[in-house]
Amino acid sequence: MTIMFVCTGNTCRSPMAEALAEDYFEKKSPGGYEFFSRGVSADSSSRASKNAAAVMEDIYEIDISGHMSRQVTGEDVSAADLILTMTEAQKSRLAGAYPQARDKIHTLREFTGGAGDISDPFGRSYGEYKKCAKMILHCVKKIKPRSEQA
């Protein structure tokens, strides 16, 4: 199964989600899943934000410092079996742009049994990034049972 995580600029939430999912699923189900991340308004010259990289390294021992942001494309949408956005607005934007993929686009929290958006920590404190990563990991740990039923 190929899962694409989507946020706004592909510098904070979606790269953290991609890295956390890769780390978690590699330990739980090696080879069963592929992950990648994109942004709905990404600048291809941007790296992972400083605080996102710091939180991932300090707390999860995952290096995302080499991550470069990428814009969602039609090829990405086709390649993904499941598309998980960080907000309802991103979900709506993708569903509008790619109506053929509407059934595979969900917010991360809705797909994992929660509600609401995962707030954007961009430009905020290290502590806000830490809270965001914790929420993302909480959701990532719930992906497997739901995706296997889909």
What are the tens digits of pLDDT across the range 9-41? 999 999 999 999 999 998 877 778 999 999 999
- Give the pLDDT confidence score for residue 31 in this predicted structure: 74
Q: How far is CA 79 from the centre of its chain?
A: 15
CA atoms within 13 A on the CB side of 5: 29
User: Rounded CA gap, 104 and 45, in Å?
Assistant: 28
**In the sheet where 105-107 sits, what is the strand order?**
34-39, 2-7, 82-85, 105-107
Using the predicted structure, report yes or no on whether residue 53 has a pLDDT greater than 60.
yes
* 125 phi, psi to nearest 5 deg: -75, 165
What pLDDT digit, counting tens, does each position of 91-148 carry? 999 999 999 999 999 999 999 999 999 999 999 999 999 999 999 999 999 986 555 5
Give domain limits for the chain: 2-145
- Cite the active site residues: 7, 13, 120
DSSP state, residue 124: S
Under CATH, domain 2-145 is a member of which superfamily?
Response regulator (3.40.50.2300)
